[in-house]
Amino acid sequence: MKKTIILQQLRLLNFKGIRSLTLEFEGTTNIYGKNGTGKSTIEDAWNWLLFGKDSQGRTTFEIKTLDKYNNVIPKIEHEVEGLLLINDKPVTLRRVLREKWNKPRGQAEAVFNGNETLFYWNDVPMQAGEYSKKIQEIMDEGVFKLITNPMAFDGLKWQDRRQVLIEMCGDVQDEDIAAEHPEYASLAETLNTKSLEEHRREMAARRKKLRDDLKMIPTRIDEVEKSKPEPLDFEQLEKDKASKEFEIKKIEDQIEDKSKVLEAYFERKNEHVRKVHQKKSEAENLKSDIERNLKNQNTIDTTELDRLTTRLKFKEIDLKENRSGMDNLLQKQKSIASEREDLRNRWHELNEKELVLNEEEFKCPTCQRAFEAEDIEQKKAEMKENFFNNKQQKLEAINESGKALKKQYEENEKLLQQSEEFEEDIKAEIGVIKTNIEKEEKRIAELKENANSFDLEAELQKHEGYQKLVAEIKALEAEEPKEETVDTAELKQKKNSLKNELDEIKEKLSHKSAIESANNRIKELEEQETNLSKQLLEVEQKEFEAESFVKLKIETLERKINANFKFVNFKMFDQQINGGIQEVCEALIDGVPFSNANTASRVNAGLDIINSLCKFYRVNAPIFIDNRESVINLIDTDSQIINLIVSRKDEKLRVESVELENVA
């Protein structure tokens, strides 16, 4: 149901300098007065009555009446009352601002204690929340501003203007365009996963890349042709390669066998240490039990001494095991150092190696005539470059091996440092434990002066289980694995020599694969050139399709929106310099932007917009038109019009009304 709001009467009391004023509104109302007589105050009063704001949307503005010295006149009420017709049903609204004065105990005069606002709906007092809810039921504040002020809509941010128009008229979806125009079906499917602008940017980037790639193809083919090496006897080289690899494999197997001997030694040694430690722990535990039993016989508590003694033994065992581990690490470091020295010798030997050119290589093998000087220099340059590259690869391989050994060596050094720190910590703990043992032994000795003494060593000598463990420990210690020495230096040297020979063969064999690769690469580049040309054509077709789609969508949306207006048109998109489309929302009056048009055109354009908004929101409300003297004719509107007209001859406000017609 459409809602029509008509302002019939507005009464001001002590509001912004107006002491008392009652305005009657019948049909179209003209309010005359020179500047400063209070025309804008009428619009402020209307807005304050509804929403507590002035016509600019401000909540903090001066309402109270001032005296001739510009001081607020105290203890008077400031009031606005309005009589409205809402679908012919009368409603009276009243908002009152009054001061609160309290008289403190013991003082003769009252003291100002702030302001309060009173609200009335049809003379019924209400709280602020109730009143606001009632106003909201009449009309949303945002909608009210748009349909009561011709300049309000253009004053919105362009994004908000666009949102209101699309909400009112409906947006144009890509799928709708595609449904009406089947030629865009493929594009519509693409737009399911990305925006139109993203698609266009993607196509532009692809087109640029494809063109750049196509320009490079001929140059790259020419470079490959020039880089193809001379052919060699590749069949014999393959046989030589297999022979060298077989010899290297035999040497590697021999080195691996010797390395396994060393690893087996370390495993046996660690297992031997573990067994000795286990037997010693059993012996210490049994000894502690025997000693505890003897001490219990004399009723002397030696629990703490036993605990300290056991702890000391374990710490001493930990110390020995840590030292054994350090010895193993030192042995490994020695082996790594030897390997690193071998690598350094290989590196220096290879680094000092120079290319020796055989002048016979620069003669025709048939007639023995020397090649042209230019060809000889080119071939020498190629041979030097190949020799240098091969040499650099070998040096880098040696460097990588050296880095790996260095990393392993540094990690072992860190472990050695940690073991040394651990050894120092254990020694410190042993010192503390020994000190505590001495104190405990002294205490027990004092207790034993009056107790029967016992001989622990004699008891241990008599104890069969303990003596058996002692014998087993001695036997194990006598069976400690002997260190085995393994020398692989000669094998490694021979292997390195064979690897150098193999590398030279591989370098020559690489010419074969280089020739094959070059031919294959040229074929690939030619196929790539054909494929890129096809892709470029497809991209350009898609770009043209997207451009025509954008134009069609723009025309459709603007036509759909502008069909709702008689006086104003809206520009919804802007063509950018780079070819992109930027969303905008600009009102145009005969092609002139709203902000650049004259006052009369802007007012009538604003009324045209208000008419459409009123139809959409199904509500009409009084429209205040400021500076009405600048507009001769207004377009038709169903809303109540209140004109604010500057009139130099009117020292005070003068109101004239014209009967309202065609208000539905």
User: Which of the four pLDDT bands, split at 50, 70 and 90, describes residue 259?
Assistant: low
- 572 within domain boundaries: no
Determine phi and psi for 87, rounding to 5 degrees.
55, 50
pLDDT tens column, 302-330: 888 889 999 899 988 998 999 898 899 89
Which of these ranges, 18-22, 124-128, 241-245, 344-348, has the smallest mean pLDDT?
241-245
- Average pLDDT of span 257-265: 69
CA 284 to chain centre: 62
* pLDDT of 487 higher than 80: no
CB atoms within 10 A of CB 163: 14
The share of the chain scoring above pLDDT 70, in percent, equals 95
* pLDDT of 663 higher than 50: no
CB atoms within 10 A of CB 29: 23
Is 0.75 surpassed by the pTM of this model? no
- 121 within domain boundaries: yes
pLDDT of res. 565: 95
pLDDT of res. 486: 62
- Average pLDDT of span 331-351: 89
Q: Which two tokens stand for residue 80?
A: 């606005």
pLDDT tens column, 539-555: 888 888 888 888 888 88
Side chain identity at 231, as an amino acid letter? P
* pLDDT of 153 higher than 80: yes
Strand boundaries in 122-246, DSSP class E: 124-126
User: Which of the four pLDDT bands, split at 50, 70 and 90, describes residue 454?
Assistant: low
Cβ–Cβ < 8 Å for 347, 395: yes
Q: Residue 48 is part of a domain; what is its CATH number? A: 3.40.50
pLDDT of res. 484: 61
User: Which of the four pLDDT bands, split at 50, 70 and 90, describes residue 452?
Assistant: low
Q: 300 or 471: whose pLDDT is higher?
A: 471
- 486 within domain boundaries: no
What is the residue range of 630's domain?
A: 3-139+621-658
> How far is the C-alpha of 380 from the C-alpha of 393, rounded, in Å?
20
pLDDT tens column, 361-375: 777 777 777 777 787
- 184 within domain boundaries: no
* pLDDT of 559 higher than 90: yes
Q: What is the three-state SS of 99-149?
A: EEEECCCCCCCCEEEEEEEEEEECCEEECHHHHHHHHHHHCCHHHHHHHHC
Is the CA virtual torsion 592, 594, 595, 601 positive or negative? positive
Side chain identity at 158, as an amino acid letter? W
- Per DSSP, the three-state class of 54 is coil
- Taking all residues of the chain, what is their mean pLDDT, rounded to a whole number? 87
Cβ–Cβ < 8 Å for 491, 254: yes
* pLDDT of 354 higher than 90: no
> How far is the C-alpha of 542 from the C-alpha of 536, rounded, in Å?
10
Cβ–Cβ < 8 Å for 151, 627: no
The β-bridge partners of 3 are 619
Cβ–Cβ < 8 Å for 24, 657: yes
Provide the b/e sequence for 94-120 (b: ≥16 CB within 10 Å).
Answer: bbbbebeeeeeeeeeeeeeeeeeebbb
pLDDT tens column, 583-608: 899 999 999 999 999 999 999 999 99
- 386 within domain boundaries: no
* pLDDT of 135 higher than 90: yes
Is the CA virtual torsion 194, 198, 204, 205 positive or negative? negative
pLDDT of res. 150: 96
- Calculated CA dihedral for residues 583, 588, 590, 596, nearest 10 degrees: -120
pLDDT of res. 476: 82
- 159 within domain boundaries: no
pLDDT tens column, 397-451: 998 988 898 888 889 989 989 988 988 999 899 999 999 999 988 888 887 775 5
pLDDT tens column, 609-658: 999 999 999 999 999 999 999 999 999 999 999 999 999 999 899 999 87
Element spanning 446, H or E: helix 373-448
Domain total in the chain: 1
- Average pLDDT of span 469-485: 80
pLDDT of res. 662: 38
Cβ–Cβ < 8 Å for 371, 363: yes
- 373 within domain boundaries: no
pLDDT tens column, 64-85: 888 888 888 888 999 999 999 9
- Per DSSP, the three-state class of 12 is strand
Tallying the residues shown for the chain, one arrives at 664
- 473 within domain boundaries: no
* pLDDT of 196 higher than 60: yes
Q: 226 or 564: whose pLDDT is higher?
A: 564
Side chain identity at 365, as an amino acid letter? P
How far is the CA of 4 from the CAs of 9, 624, 644, in angstroms?
Answer: 16, 16, 22
